[in-house]
Each structure stands twice: as C-alpha cells, then as structure tokens.
Amino acid sequence: MSQTISSLMHREVIQVGPDDTLQAVEAKMSAHALSWVPVIDTGGVVLGVISSADLLRLHADGRSPAKVCAWQLCTYKPITVHPDDKISEVARVMVESGIHHVVVAENGEIRGVVSSLDFVRTFVT
C-alpha cells in the first residue's frame, strides 16, 4: 500500500470543545453515528480524543455526563499523523500503539481523521 493516509481520511471532522459536557458530546456522536471525536480548543489545537469506550467507562463509574466536561475525560495528546504518511505506516503505528483512531494534521491544523474501521472499509468497497 503506497497510498497516503489522506486518501483514506474523513475530511469533514465533527469535533467538540473542551468545555462541552459529555451529554452534548454523546448527542453529537449519536447524531453523526461516530465512535469517537477529537477535542479541539478555540485555537484549533487538538487537545485529545473521546471514544465510545471512554463514555462507556464514564457510565459504568456512575458519573453524570451532564456534569463532566470533555477535557476531563479525553485522552490527551492523541497520535497525529501527516496527510502524506503512507497508509501502511499509519496502520503499523496504530497496531503498535493499540489505538483505533488517529488525527491527520498538517502545520498544526487538523485536516482529517481516520479510524480502524476506515481501514476495514478498504477491503469491502
């Protein structure tokens, strides 16, 4: 696979802010059928990501999603890749890191997102 990750990434990025409640995050994820979202500050910097697994843990712990903000739950400093990185290299990084999501950024600006499901889709289309 010599294609770059930009050929696989979703360019329309649904994002949340650090002060959004997890109740709002869940609603946005549900409305867009997402399994994760990046948490982005007002300057466009990716602070972290929130996955559906993070939200499941929140509920399992009995915490109220209306009282917790995105910055309190997100995984900070997510792995970020460049749009020109090879798909095979990004896949290797994801497997070695045990992650299912990466942010695609260039010059500090988010360009897209990729999940492990995007890799699977390449085999069924």
Here the CATH number for the domain that contains residue 52 is 3.10.580.10
Closest CA to 81 of 73, 70, 71, 92: 92
Domain of residue 56 covers: 5-124
Q: What is the pTM of this model?
A: 0.85
pLDDT digits (tens, 9 = 90+) for 26-67: 999 999 999 999 999 988 889 999 999 999 999 999 999 999
pLDDT digits (tens, 9 = 90+) for 81-99: 999 999 999 999 999 999 9
Q: How many domains does the chain have?
A: 1
User: How many angstroms separate the CA atoms of 125 and 114, rounded?
Assistant: 16
